[in-house]
Structure 1
Amino acid sequence: MTAFLATGGRVLTPASRDATALAHENGVIVWAGSDAPGPALFPDAQYVDLEGDWVAPAFVECLASGLDAGAAAARGVIPAPIPEPHALDLVADRVRAGERVVLGADADPVEVAAELTRLAAELGGPAVARCTPVLVGALNGGSTPIDDQTLAALASVGTVIVLRPLVDDLTGTDLVRIAASGVALAASVRAGSAQAADEVRPWDALRNLTSVSGGRGLSPRAAFTAVTRGARRAAGARDGTSGTLTPGTPATFARWQTGALAVVAAYDAVQRWSTDPRSGVPPMPDLSGPDPVLRELVVDGLPSVPSE
């Protein structure tokens, strides 16, 4: 398959904070960096002029039951579904069988943490972590608020919490504290319940995650990670790079026409250092402005749909 070299853009990749070019071949990212060395590294590649566009991992919807994949793709979203939630009393059997553990919004995080801790003591922490325990929208489940001890227990066995910023009221939720606990955060970009006609609104999901009323929302970068790499992890990826534009990962990305990029922190204590270019925090689209316009979605190296 022909190699593709895209230059003249702004590329969000762990390989380089200031990447402007990206190469992929056989459906896999093979390089990211500055424009200058690209032609020498890939002399036979098919060239693509990004025209200043922002290239980033595609949004991932992990609560994808009934999702209209075509409509989602038109908004830069691809499905990577997790299994349907099950009852708490099935957790032990599922862990022993090595099956995924997925609990819904009605689950009490304290009870979940206690059960996972018991199983980790009985079977070993790795046995539980291999099941990638997922709590879907369960931050406020049960009668006991989620506390630091519960978060630590969930983090110790690799739990992922899937937030639903367009469905649940996150008012007063300290997402910064939860993320700092080691619990992985993922997020859905769906605007409603599991119905085929639901609309996906990825940029609104990011806005809700970063502007939690009465609490501490995520930084734009952390919110974006939740709807890309975090969602991939919720879906079962354990390599740590799925959902990023790291060389060696699938060439699945979206190309967006956007305005100036900015570095914005989650809250004032971080703002003082994260906006310094030396911090290495990558710039993101300004969420206070209009939604970026999708120019192209590429899935495993193949063009999917242009913007509407």
Structure 2
Amino acid sequence: MTATLATGGRILTPSSRDATALAHDGGLVVWAGADAPAPALFPDAEHVDLAGDWVAPAFVECLSDGLDIGAAAARGVVPAGLPAPHATGTVADRVRAGERVVVDAGADPAGVAAALTDLATELGGPAVARCTPTLVGAPDLDDAGLAALAAVGAVILLRPLVDDLAGTDLVRLAGSGAALAASVRAGDEVRPWDALRALTTVDRGRGLSPRAAFTATTRGARRAAGARDGAASTLAVGAPATYVRWETGELVVAAADDAVQRWSTDPRSGVPPMPDLAGPDPVLRDLVVDGHPGNADR
């Protein structure tokens, strides 16, 4: 397979806050950086001119049962399978069998946290963490309950376009240590940019920063689906080359709560800029999945 080198864009990658070029080969990201050295580093690569577009990991939908894959791709969303939720009473049996633990909204989160804690004591924390315990919906837990979930590697999967998040302190959830994921689905539709807006503007509550919300709908959702390498849904070297090219306006840096996170809007903080969620949705220009053109019929 011939390497692909894309230049002249704005790349969201942990390799560099100011990256303008990205190279991938064999379905994996192999480099990200500035335009200038790129041609010399990849002289035989197929070249793509990004024309100033923003390149970022694709959105991930882990509640993908019945999802229209083509329609999702047209909105920059790729599926990642998550097992159907099960009854709270089967948590122990599933952990002992090494199976995924997915508990639906409406379950008693305190009971789930207690059960997982007891299992970690009995079987060891790694045995529980390998099951990637996932709670669907924002759990109503105190700090001790959230800490118990974090201790066993649990994932909190939010549904911002389905559940009423009014009054929810998402900043507290994100700071608990438990991994935070989010669905971008509303019934049969996927609306990723609306999901980001819902996560960042919580009525009578505290919303996430745009960057944290984006992470929840990409890397977090991939984690909920069982990815454990830490690189999935990033454009880090060695990660799958699954990304979207967006035509968008000026990128901005915005904090979740200006009163307490003003530092994060300072360029010196290194927080990468994002599309302005107050503006129109970015326009999808291209979807690449594992280095290949995705099904992005629009």
Pair in the same fold by TM > 0.5: yes
Distance 1:306 1:166 in 2: 23
Partner of 1:19: 19
For each residue in 1:24-83, what CA deviation from the matched residue of structure 2 results, as whole angstroms up to 9, or x when unmatched?
Answer: 001110000111110111011011000000000000000000000000000000000210
Moved over 3 A (4+): none
Of the three residues 175, 179, 191, the one matched with 2:186 is 191
The answer to whether the 8 Å contact 2:104/2:136 transfers is yes
1:138, CA displacement in angstroms?
4.5
Partner of 1:224: 214
* Equivalent runs, 1:143-222 vs 2, <5 Å: 145-192=140-187, 198-222=188-212
The answer to whether the 8 Å contact 1:188/1:227 transfers is yes
The answer to whether the 8 Å contact 1:296/1:307 transfers is no
The SS at the match of 2:244 is: strand
The answer to whether the 8 Å contact 1:24/1:31 transfers is yes
Q: 1:223 to 1:275 in 2, by over 3 A?
A: same
Partner of 2:228: 238
TM-score (norm 1): 0.95
Find out whether 1:83 has 2:83 as its counterpart.
yes
For each residue in 1:183-213, what CA deviation from the matched residue of structure 2 results, as whole angstroms up to 9, or x when unmatched?
Answer: 1110000012xxxxx1100000000000001
1:304, CA displacement in angstroms?
1.4
* Equivalent runs, 1:24-39 vs 2, <5 Å: 24-39=24-39
The answer to whether the 8 Å contact 1:11/1:55 transfers is yes
Distance 1:239 1:15 in 2: 17
* Equivalent runs, 1:61-72 vs 2, <5 Å: 61-72=61-72
Partner of 2:281: 291
The answer to whether the 8 Å contact 1:57/1:244 transfers is yes
- How many corresponding residue pairs? 298
1:105, CA displacement in angstroms?
0.3
Give 2:196's aligned amino acid.
L
Q: 1:138 to 1:272 in 2, by over 3 A?
A: closer
Q: 1:215 to 1:250 in 2, by over 3 A?
A: same
The SS at the match of 1:224 is: helix
1:306, CA displacement in angstroms?
4.4
Distance 1:57 1:226 in 2: 12
Distance 1:63 1:214 in 2: 27
The answer to whether the 8 Å contact 1:264/1:271 transfers is no
Q: Percent identity?
A: 77
For each residue in 1:211-241, what CA deviation from the matched residue of structure 2 results, as whole angstroms up to 9, or x when unmatched?
Answer: 0011110000000000000000000011111
TM-score (norm 2): 0.98
Distance 2:235 2:260 in 1: 25
Report the aligned-residue RMSD.
0.9
Distance 1:105 1:181 in 2: 19
The answer to whether the 8 Å contact 2:240/2:291 transfers is yes
Partner of 2:134: 134
The answer to whether the 8 Å contact 1:75/1:307 transfers is no
1:269, CA displacement in angstroms?
3.2
The answer to whether the 8 Å contact 2:70/2:296 transfers is no
Partner of 2:291: 301
Distance 2:27 2:178 in 1: 31
1:305, CA displacement in angstroms?
3.7
For each residue in 1:88-122, what CA deviation from the matched residue of structure 2 results, as whole angstroms up to 9, or x when unmatched?
Answer: 11111111111100000011111110000010111
The SS at the match of 2:229 is: coil
The SS at the match of 1:227 is: helix
The SS at the match of 1:132 is: coil
Find out whether 1:117 has 2:117 as its counterpart.
yes
Distance 2:269 2:260 in 1: 11
